[in-house]
């Protein structure tokens, strides 16, 4: 099992809020990648293997919606979240549904609530464990011929 921490991309142009989110994610066992604008966030997304994206909506260079549109072109399943001071406006924005944005958080918000929502979304999208339950291994060998075994030793 790998001991590498899961990376979460945080795109937030408010330095104080970016630090708080980064600290909260780090204290919950994640490795936050913090970016101050959408362009920097897009580059970091392309250069990293993040498991979730948390983005401010209104940022320099590229908005949160534009960032998530680009993310979706590369990965349709990664959990994406928006934080915004314009929650009511975004609640009616059809792009939020079209882009399958997991949740929109209105400012002010609790960083713990964001981390909890991200953690839940990551757990829902995690691939099934390759480890088989003991009963299924026993059942595979209960017939006269072993099934599912290939290779030199089979």
Q: What is the pLDDT of residues 75-92, one digit of tens each?
A: 999 999 999 988 777 778
151 occurs within a structural domain: no
What does pTM read for this prediction? 0.79
Report the C-alpha gap between 82 and 107 in whole angstroms.
Answer: 10
Number of domains comprising the chain: 1
134 occurs within a structural domain: yes
145 occurs within a structural domain: no
The helix-helix angle for 15-27 and 111-125 (nearest 10°) equals 50
Chain segment 46-71, per-residue pLDDT in tens: 999 999 999 999 999 999 999 999 99
Would you place residue 128 in the very low, low, confident or very high pLDDT band (cuts 50, 70, 90)? low
Find the CATH number of the domain harbouring 77: 3.40.50.2300
Question: Given a cut of 70, is residue 132 above it in pLDDT?
Answer: no
109 occurs within a structural domain: yes
pLDDT the model gives residue 88: 74
Question: Given a cut of 80, is residue 149 above it in pLDDT?
Answer: no
Domain that holds residue 99: 7-140
146 occurs within a structural domain: no
pLDDT the model gives residue 92: 81
Would you place residue 127 in the very low, low, confident or very high pLDDT band (cuts 50, 70, 90)? low
Report the C-alpha gap between 21 and 31 in whole angstroms.
Answer: 11
153 occurs within a structural domain: no
149 occurs within a structural domain: no
């Amino acid at each position: 099992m790998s001991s590498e921490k899961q990376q979460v991309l945080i795109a937030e142009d408010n330095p104080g809020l970016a630090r708080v989110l980064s600290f909260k994610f780090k204290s919950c066992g994640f490795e936050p990648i913090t970016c101050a604008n959408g362009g920097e966030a897009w580059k970091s997304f392309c250069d990293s293997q993040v498991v979730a994206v948390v983005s401010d909506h209104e940022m320099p260079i590229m908005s949160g919606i534009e960032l998530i549109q680009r993310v979706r072109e590369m990965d349709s399943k990664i959990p994406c979240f928006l934080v915004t001071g314009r929650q009511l406006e975004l609640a009616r924005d059809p792009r939020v549904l079209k882009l399958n944005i997991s949740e929109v958080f209105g400012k002010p918000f609790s960083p713990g609530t964001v981390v909890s929502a991200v953690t839940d979304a990551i757990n829902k999208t995690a691939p099934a464990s390759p480890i088989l339950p003991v009963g299924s291994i026993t059942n595979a060998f209960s017939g006269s011929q072993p099934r599912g075994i290939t290779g030199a030793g089979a």
